[in-house]
Structure formats: structure tokens, C-alpha cells
Amino acid sequence: MFNNNRYMTCGVDSTIPLELQLFMWNCVDELPEERDYLQVFKLEPFSEMQRITHTSENPEHKMEYLIASDTPITAKVYVIDDGDHSTMLLANEY
């Protein structure tokens, strides 16, 4: 899973900074081979940091990261693998 062509929606492109996009793809890449087809990232400000909570259901996975950021954002991002390609999209674009 997630070893195919990768895409993102216009919403991700316009609201999520490139460094966060790359960070989230890297989080997916670093997972063990048994991965859920749906990876969820919750982005929220935390003091002067960007908090990223990465979760999936099967197998259950949860990690939290804090990244220094001058402009932290609030968003929920899905990364979905449908077998042919992987797509990063905002939750409200689903």
C-alpha cells in the first residue's frame, strides 16, 4: 500500500504548506508494511508549534508530532490508497 502514484487535491495544495505535505507522506512511508488504506492527520496550533496527530484504525496507530511553525494551521487531512493511486485530501473534500 502507498507504493503507487501520489496525488493531492487543490484544497491540500492551497492550504497545506509543502513541508507539512512532505512530512505527512513521510509518516505514511515510515509505517510498517501492514497499513490501513486510510491514514488520518489532524493539524492544529499548539502554542507556537504545529501539532500533527496521525492515526489509523486497522492496524490501530496513533502518533503525535510537534513541529516549529510561524503560522500553524488547523485542518484534517486524509491520505487514501485505493490500490491504483494514493491521494492526499482535506476531510471536507471527501
**pLDDT for 72-87, tens place per residue?**
999 999 999 999 999 9
Cis preceding-peptide flag for 59 (omega within 30 of 0): yes
How many folded domains does the chain comprise? 1
User: Which pLDDT belongs to residue 33?
Assistant: 85
CATH (domain of 68): 3.10.450.150
Q: Are 48 and 59 in contact (CB under 8 A)?
A: no
Domain boundaries, position 84: 5-93
Percentage of the chain with pLDDT > 90?
88
* One-character DSSP codes across 36-50: -SEEEEEEEEETTEE
Does the predicted TM-score (pTM) go above 0.85?
yes
